[in-house]
């Protein structure tokens, strides 16, 4: 609660009687007294100059119409500073607020961003641990709610955690120190080795930092988000697919054949990405009941979720994988994607030859067949397949990641003339994002556009008349 009902009294000097009776020099203290909403407050100082300085701040705030906090008796800006939590305390509170509803990958991403920016928000460098040690403590324990709830930090991290608890800046400092905010943003733009981070990485980490400060505004710990007042622009990502990574049908078939020779169980995995534009996490979630696979012709894949790899430190179950809903959709949403005839035949062969895992999953890990195939396994096989097909796989950007097969699928659909609205529905994109991301991968449109312009200008008629 705040009020404008304020009275400020004169400074009262108080002389120490104990010093005078013992023959020593009498010492004085100076007390500032004021009343806020009929409640008296006071603050004592060792010198009159300090008392006058404090009283003048109260008087200036009263004259400028600043509201006073009824609990502390201070003008609101001063009260906010007095009650302000440190950046460390606020960052931990932000993690705890986000944790219950965040996916395992989001939890890890939040911890990564906060562990990156916190070393830039220190109140002092005196006695500071080195940055790698601070990051180990922040990422491994401070910003992992599950680890904090389980007990104190490991012995080797305890001194670092204690130092950080006592030596980060006040949250309100970020609201007044634009240079500090800029320093924090500059830190987010660097990798651990000091080199410039990728634009997408910078954008992700900046979004977390911005969200933490926005939470401070929500709690009324800051008036506005300090980042909004800093003219800081990171390197921009084009946000479009590089057409050099997109394979053509002949190249795609050659890569799938190489996978079949190296690891036959994974041919269908990569075929789902190429022929149906599935994300790898969606393929990992795919079960036999999700598939309509006729003996001939087109089939359907009915997607119900995705299986994300985040690491056992970040999931509620302690498992490395976590089942989630489809990207950018409600948990219960589904998406239907047509399965081209080659994919139907590959999947039918896969099921007949290798069977399924727990819950009918099509791509379980080899051996115990309980969890899905690991990222490390399918990435290793993909590297080997590229090495078998491409002349110089290390230098070539072509299909460098399995995800690039999805780009190839979407590009093929668009170039075949499938309406963008339909492609967006199958791929799980909005139309706006689809056309922006794949703008450079759409071929054959320039000539048609030029002919339409010629017709509109009557150039075809002019040529005829000549």
Whichever domain contains 373, its CATH number is: 1.10.443.10
Does any domain span residue 461?
Answer: no
Q: Which residue has the tokens 């996490």?
A: 281
Q: Give the integer Cα–Cα distance in Å for 258 and 269.
A: 13
447 within domain boundaries:
no
Long-range contact set of residues 269-272: C-beta below 8 Å, sequence gap at least 24: 269/362, 269/363, 269/373, 269/378, 270/378, 270/382, 270/402, 270/405, 271/342, 271/343, 271/346, 271/347, 272/301, 272/343, 272/347
The domain boundary residue, chosen from 36, 54, 83: 83
Q: Are residues 286 and 424 in the same domain?
A: yes
Residue closest to 441 by CA, chosen among 418, 407, 402? 407
Domain end, chosen from 43, 64, 83, is at: 83
- The answer to whether residue 171 sits within a structural domain is yes
* Same structural domain, 76 and 161: no
Q: In this predicted structure, what is the pLDDT of residue 442?
A: 59
**265 and 394, same domain (yes or no):** yes
Whether 280 and 168 share a structural domain: no
In a shared domain, residues 213 and 127: yes
**Residues recorded for the chain:** 466
Taking each helix axis from N to C end, the angle separating 87-98 and 199-218, rounded to the nearest 10 degrees, works out to 100
448 within domain boundaries: no
| Whether residue 407 is found in the same domain as residue 274 | yes
DSSP structure class, residue 84? P
159 SS3 class: helix
238-244: long-range contacts (C-beta < 8 A, 24 or more apart)?
Answer: 239/436, 239/437, 240/436, 240/437, 240/438, 240/439, 240/440, 241/407, 241/411, 241/437, 241/438, 241/440, 241/441, 242/397, 242/440, 243/411, 243/440, 243/441, 244/397, 244/398
Which tokens is 350 given?
Answer: 């896969």
Tell me, yes or no, whether 255 and 386 share the same domain.
yes
Q: Is 222 part of a structural domain of the chain?
A: yes
My answer on whether 259 and 358 are in the same domain is yes
Q: Are residues 92 and 195 in the same domain?
A: yes
Residue 239 CA from chain centroid, whole number: 16
pLDDT by 10-residue block (mean), the chain, 466 residues:
92 73 70 94 92 95 93 86 85 96 94 97 94 96 95 95 95 91 94 88 94 93 91 72 86 95 96 96 94 95 90 86 80 89 96 91 72 87 94 89 92 87 90 79 60 73 47
Q: Tell me, yes or no, whether 458 lies in a domain.
A: no
User: Nearest 5 degrees, angle CA 260-CA 358-CA 258?
Assistant: 5
Determine the pLDDT at residue 199.
87
Q: Please check whether residues 268 and 416 belong to one and the same domain.
A: yes
Shared domain for 72 and 110, answered yes or no, is no
Q: Which domain holds residue 23?
A: 2-83
Global pTM reads: 0.73
Q: Would you state the pLDDT for residue 372?
A: 81
In a domain, 449, yes or no: no
Tally of structural domains, the chain = 3
Do 259 and 206 have their domain in common? Answer: no
The angle at the Cα of 63, spanning 62 to 64, to the nearest 5 degrees, equals 90
Answer whether residue 249 is part of any domain. Answer: yes
Task: Give burial (CB, 10 Å; 0-12/13-18/19+) of 110.
Answer: buried
Instruction: Please report the DSSP string for 164-232 in residue order.
Output: HHHSBPBHHHHHH-HHHHHHHHHHHTB-TTSSBPPHHHHHHHHHHHHHHHHHHHHTTSSSS-GGGGS--
Q: What confidence score (pLDDT) does residue 223 get?
A: 85
């Amino acid at each position: 609660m705040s009020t404008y009902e304020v009275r400020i009294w004169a400074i009262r000097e108080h002389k120490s009687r104990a010093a005078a009776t013992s023959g020593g020099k009498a010492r004085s203290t100076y007390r500032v007294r004021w009343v806020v909403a009929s409640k008296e407050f006071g603050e004592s100082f060792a010198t009159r100059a300090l008392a006058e300085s404090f009283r003048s701040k109260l008087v200036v705030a009263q004259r400028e119409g600043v509201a006073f906090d009824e609990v502390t008796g201070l003008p609101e800006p001063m009260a906010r500073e007095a009650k302000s939590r440190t950046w460390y305390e606020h960052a931990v509170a932000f993690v705890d607020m986000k944790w219950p509803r965040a996916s395992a990958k989001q939890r890890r991403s939040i911890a990564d961003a906060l562990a990156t920016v916190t070393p830039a928000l220190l109140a002092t460098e005196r006695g500071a641990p080195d940055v790698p040690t601070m990051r180990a403590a922040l990422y491994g324990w401070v910003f992992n709610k599950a680890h904090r709830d389980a007990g104190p930090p490991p012995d080797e991290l305890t001194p670092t955690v204690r130092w950080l608890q006592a030596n980060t800046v006040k949250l309100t400092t970020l609201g007044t120190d634009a240079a500090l905010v800029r320093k924090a943003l500059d830190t987010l733009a660097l990798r651990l080795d000091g080199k410039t981070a990728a634009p997408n990485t910078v954008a992700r980490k900046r979004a977390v930092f911005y969200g933490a400060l926005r939470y401070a505004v929500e709690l009324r710990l800051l008036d506005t988000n300090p980042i909004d007042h800093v003219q800081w622009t990171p390197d921009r990502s084009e946000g479009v697919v590089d057409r050099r990574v997109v394979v053509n049908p002949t190249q795609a078939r050659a890569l799938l054949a190489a996978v079949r020779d190296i690891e036959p169980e994974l041919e269908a995995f990569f075929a789902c990405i190429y022929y149906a534009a599935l994300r790898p996490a969606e393929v990992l979630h795919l079960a036999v009941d999700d598939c309509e696979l006729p003996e001939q012709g087109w089939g359907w894949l009915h997607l119900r979720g995705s299986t994300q790899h985040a690491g056992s430190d970040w999931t509620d179950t302690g498992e490395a994988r976590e089942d989630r809903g489809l990207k950018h959709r409600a948990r219960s949403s589904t998406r239907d994607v047509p399965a081209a005839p080659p994919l139907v035949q590959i999947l039918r062969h896969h099921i007949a030859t290798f069977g399924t895992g727990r819950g009918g999953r099509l791509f379980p890990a080899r051996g115990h067949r309980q969890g899905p195939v690991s990222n490390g396994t399918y990435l290793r096989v993909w590297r080997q397949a590229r090495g078998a097909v491409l002349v110089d796989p290390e230098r070539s950007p072509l299909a460098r990641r399995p995800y690039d097969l999805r780009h190839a699928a979407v590009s093929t659909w668009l170039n075949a003339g499938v309406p963008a609205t339909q492609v967006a529905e199958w791929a799980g994109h909005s139309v706006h994002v689809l056309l922006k991301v794949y703008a450079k991968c759409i071929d054959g449109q320039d000539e048609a556009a030029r002919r339409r312009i010629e017709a509109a200008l009557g150039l075809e008629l002019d040529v005829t008349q000549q």
